[in-house]
C-alpha cells in the first residue's frame, strides 16, 4: 500500500497551482475477523480497505475531502486529481482559519514492524481450544494496519504495524461471566493459554452462591482491565491543552490547586512503544514520550497544533482530540502472585462498566462492577458478588488510598472497529485500593 499512496501523493503535487499546498492522510488495513458464540465460529471474513483524506490549503484557508481508494493506481490518482479541483472551488469561498497550523519543515519517517502475529487459523484454533466445553463468546481480529502522510513540502511518512486482538467472555449463566483479552504485535501461544486457563479458573468460582454486600468502603483489587476503564474516563478531556486552558479538565485541582496523586503514579503518552503511528494529521512528529503525571504530580498536557496556535503554546504531536493514543501507567512492585494475599479481605474486581463523571470538577467517577467480581477472605476467593455501583474520586483511588500497583502489566488494545480497527492502546498494571466506596 505504501507505493500506491506515494504515487497518489506525487499525482497531487502535479495538480497544485500558485501558492496552493496539500496535506494527504492515508489509512488502510488488511484484517481477518472471526466472531465466536457458544465456543464455535459463527462469522468469519476478511476486510481490505483504503482511505485518503485530502486537505487543500492556501494560506490560512483550507478544505478537505475523504476518498475511498480502490487500489487501482490509475483510477485512484484520477479521483485524487478530481478532488483537488473540487476543493479548489470550495477554497475560493472559505474563510481564513486563525488556528490553522501545519508542519512546514519536512520530517519523513518510515516504521514497518515485522510480522509476528499468528496465522489466522492458528489464532482461531487456539481460541476454539480454550473454549472447548464452555459457553465462550467473543472475537479475534488480526492483520496489518497502515497509515501514511504526505504534504506539498515533500514530507513523506509511513507506518505499518501487525497487531492482533482477542476479546473473549466465558459465560456461566445470566450476568455471571469472566472476560479476558489478549492483544499485541507478537503472538504468544503460551501466554494466551495461561490467560484462558486463569479465566476458566475464575469461572469455576462463579458457580458458588453469589453474595450481596452492603454499601460502604472496601479494600479492592482492580485488575488491569478495570484500571483501563478509569484511565479511559480521565482521557476524556483530562490531558488535553484545551481542557486545561479552559478549566474543563477533570484534573483541574491538580492544575490549579496543586493536588497530587500517590507518588507511585507516573502516567505518560508512550508513543515509542504504542501501536499508533508516530505522526499526526498536520505532519508533526510525535515525541517518544510525553510525561503527563510524574510521581503523582501534574507535569504536561497533550498539545495539538490547533490548540497550540489558539493558546500560544508549543505543540507536542497530539491529535486534534488531545486524547492519549498510547497511555502508559508505570508498573509498581507488587508481584501478581501476591495479589490475593495482599488484598486480604475485600473485593476482586475484574472489570468496571458504564463509567461516567458524577462530579467532573472533583474528578469523581461512578460506574458498575461487571463480569468476574469476587468477595475475598483471608487471601482466598470466597464467593462471587452481585453487581454493585461505586462512586469515588480519582484523587482517592490513585492518591492516599492507593496501596500498591502490580509489577506486571497488560497491553490492552482498543476493540473499536468503527470504520476501521483502532490503534489506541493502554499498558496498565493492576491496583489495590483501600476504602473504595460502594454506594448500592
At 26-81, the pLDDT tens digits run: 999 999 999 999 999 999 999 999 999 999 999 999 999 999 999 999 999 999 99
Q: How many domains does the chain have?
A: 2
> Does 295 lie in the same domain as 413?
yes
Q: Classify residue 186: in a domain, yes or no.
A: no
Q: What is the mean pLDDT of the chain?
A: 95
- Report whether pLDDT(434) > 90: yes
Q: Classify residue 276: in a domain, yes or no.
A: yes
> Does 332 lie in the same domain as 250?
yes
Closest to 324 (Cα-Cα) out of 393, 283, 268 = 268
Residue 362 class from Cβ within 10 Å (0-12 exposed, 13-18 middle, 19+ buried)?
A: middle
- The pLDDT tens digits for 129-176 are 999 999 999 999 999 999 999 999 999 999 999 999 999 999 998 778
- Locate cell 489466522: which residue? 120
120 — pLDDT class (breaks 50, 70, 90): confident
**Alpha-carbon distance 145 to 423, whole Å?**
8
Q: Classify residue 171: in a domain, yes or no.
A: yes
Q: With pLDDT > 90 as the criterion, what percentage of the chain qualifies?
A: 94
Q: Classify residue 297: in a domain, yes or no.
A: yes
For 195, the grid coordinates are 490467560
258 — pLDDT class (breaks 50, 70, 90): very high
Secondary structure of residue 24 in the 3-state scheme: strand
Q: Classify residue 255: in a domain, yes or no.
A: yes
119 — pLDDT class (breaks 50, 70, 90): confident
185-218 burial, b if ≥16 CB within 10 A, otherwise e? Answer: bebeeeebeebbeebbebbebbeeebeeeeeeeb
Range of the domain at 150: 2-181
> Does 255 lie in the same domain as 124?
no
CB 346 within 8 A of CB 220: yes
**Alpha-carbon distance 43 to 37, whole Å?**
9
Residue 383 class from Cβ within 10 Å (0-12 exposed, 13-18 middle, 19+ buried)?
A: middle
For 86, the grid coordinates are 473540487
Q: Classify residue 326: in a domain, yes or no.
A: yes
Q: Classify residue 207: in a domain, yes or no.
A: no
CB 146 within 8 A of CB 31: no
**Alpha-carbon distance 321 to 300, whole Å?**
16
Q: What is the CATH number of the domain that holds 25?
A: 3.30.2290.10
- Report whether pLDDT(216) > 80: yes
Q: Classify residue 193: in a domain, yes or no.
A: no
> Does 416 lie in the same domain as 309?
yes
- What pLDDT score does 61 carry? 97
Closest to 200 (Cα-Cα) out of 127, 118, 110 = 127
Helices (runs of H) and strands (runs of E) counted in the chain: 10, 18
> Does 242 lie in the same domain as 381?
yes
Task: Determine which helix (DSSP H) or strand (DSSP E) holds 160, and give its type and residue range.
Answer: strand 156-173
Task: Determine which helix (DSSP H) or strand (DSSP E) holds 427, and give its type and residue range.
Answer: strand 425-438
Task: Determine which helix (DSSP H) or strand (DSSP E) holds 120, and give its type and residue range.
Answer: helix 120-131
> Does 249 lie in the same domain as 132?
no
Amino acid at each position: 500500500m505504501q507505493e500506491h499512496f506515494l504515487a497518489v501523493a506525487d499525482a497531487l503535487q502535479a495538480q497544485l497551482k500558485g501558492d496552493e499546498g496539500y496535506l494527504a492522510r492515508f489509512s488502510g488495513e488488511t484484517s481477518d475477523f472471526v466472531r465466536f458464540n457458544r465456543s464455535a465460529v459463527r462469522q468469519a471474513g476478511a476486510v481490505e480497505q483504503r482511505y485518503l483524506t485530502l486537505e487543500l490549503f492556501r494560506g490560512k484557508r483550507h478544505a478537505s475531502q475523504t476518498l475511498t481508494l480502490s487500489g487501482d493506481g490509475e483510477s485512484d490518482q484520477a479521483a485524487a486529481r478530481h478532488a483537488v479541483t473540487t476543493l479548489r472551488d470550495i477554497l475560493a469561498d472559505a474563510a481564513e482559519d486563525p488556528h490553522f497550523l501545519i508542519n512546514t519543515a519536512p520530517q519523513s519517517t518510515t516504521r514497518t514492524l515485522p510480522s509476528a502475529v499468528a496465522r489466522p487459523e492458528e489464532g482461531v484454533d487456539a481460541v476454539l481450544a480454550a473454549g472447548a466445553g464452555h459457553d465462550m463468546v467473543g472475537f479475534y481480529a488480526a492483520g496489518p494496519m497502515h497509515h501514511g502522510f504526505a504534504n506539498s513540502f515533500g514530507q513523506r511518512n509511513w507506518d505499518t504495524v501487525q497487531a492482533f486482538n482477542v476479546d473473549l467472555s466465558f459465560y456461566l449463566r445470566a450476568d455471571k461471566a469472566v472476560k479476558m483479552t489478549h492483544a499485541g504485535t507478537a503472538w504468544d501461544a503460551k501466554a494466551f493459554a495461561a490467560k484462558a486457563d486463569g479465566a476458566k479458573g475464575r469461572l469455576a468460582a462463579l458457580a458458588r452462591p453469589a453474595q450481596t454486600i452492603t454499601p460502604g468502603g472496601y479494600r479492592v483489587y482492580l485488575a488491569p482491565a478495570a484500571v483501563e476503564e478509569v484511565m479511559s474516563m480521565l482521557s476524556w478531556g483530562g490531558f488535553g491543552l484545551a481542557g486545561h486552558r479552559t478549566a474543563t479538565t477533570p484534573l483541574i485541582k491538580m492544575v490549579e490547586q496543586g493536588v497530587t496523586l500517590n507518588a507511585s503514579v507516573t502516567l505518560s503518552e508512550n508513543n515509542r512503544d504504542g501501536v499508533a503511528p508516530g505522526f499526526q494529521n498536520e505532519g508533526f512528529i510525535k515525541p517518544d514520550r510525553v510525561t503527563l503525571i510524574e510521581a503523582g504530580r501534574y507535569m504536561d498536557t497533550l498539545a495539538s497544533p490547533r490548540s497550540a496556535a489558539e493558546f500560544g503554546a508549543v505543540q507536542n504531536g497530539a491529535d486534534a482530540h488531545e486524547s492519549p493514543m498510547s497511555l502508559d501507567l508505570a508498573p509498581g512492585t507488587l508481584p501478581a502472585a501476591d495479589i490475593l494475599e495482599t488484598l486480604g479481605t475485600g473485593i476482586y474486581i475484574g472489570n468496571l462498566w458504564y463509567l461516567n463523571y458524577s462530579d467532573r470538577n472533583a474528578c469523581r467517577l461512578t460506574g458498575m462492577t461487571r463480569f468476574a467480581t469476587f468477595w475475598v477472605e483471608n487471601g482466598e476467593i470466597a464467593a462471587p458478588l452481585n453487581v454493585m455501583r461505586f462512586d469515588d474520586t480519582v484523587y482517592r483511588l490513585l492518591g492516599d488510598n492507593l496501596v500498591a500497583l502490580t509489577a506486571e502489566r497488560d497491553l490492552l488494545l482498543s476493540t473499536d472497529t468503527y470504520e476501521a480497527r483502532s490503534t489506541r492502546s493502554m499498558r496498565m498494571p493492576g491496583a489495590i485500593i483501600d476504602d473504595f466506596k460502594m454506594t448500592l
